[in-house]
Amino acid sequence: MHRIFTTSVASVYPHYLAKVERKGRTKAELDEVICWLTGYDETELARRLAAGTTFEEFFAAARIHPNVSLIKGVVCGIRVEEVEDPLMQQIRYLDKLVDELARGKAMGKVLRG
């Protein structure tokens, strides 16, 4: 089992937030991206962050968006569409969406609209 699976999402969330805010994006936009991917609403996302939910628990309870297969590209030198472990792939999808948001991509494109 990879260490990230047992890491709390709340411990990584501030890094995601710092990354997008450095590039002029907002917490609301970050939350929108996470909610789009997971199917959580803002209240559920906040509850899971406050509870210290691990990535494994976070994605096990998520309702992954049906357009997730449209997320393609490289994160940390790894093509997200080629990741074999389903949980690791979902984590990489999240990383990819955060990267795109931070790079200034239009929200409609980030959310595969």
- Look at residue 103 and tell me whether its pLDDT is greater than 80: yes
Q: What is the mean pLDDT of residues 70-80?
A: 94
Q: Is 50 exposed, middle or buried (0-12, 13-18, 19+ CB in 10 A)?
A: exposed
Give pTM, 2 decimals.
0.95
Q: What is the mean pLDDT of residues 96-111?
A: 96
- Look at residue 1 and tell me whether its pLDDT is greater than 80: no
Q: Domain ranges in the chain? A: 3-104
**Which CATH class, in words, describes the domain spanning 3-104?**
mainly alpha
Q: Is 21 exposed, middle or buried (0-12, 13-18, 19+ CB in 10 A)?
A: middle
- Look at residue 87 and tell me whether its pLDDT is greater than 80: yes
25-40: pLDDT as tens digits: 999 999 999 999 999 9
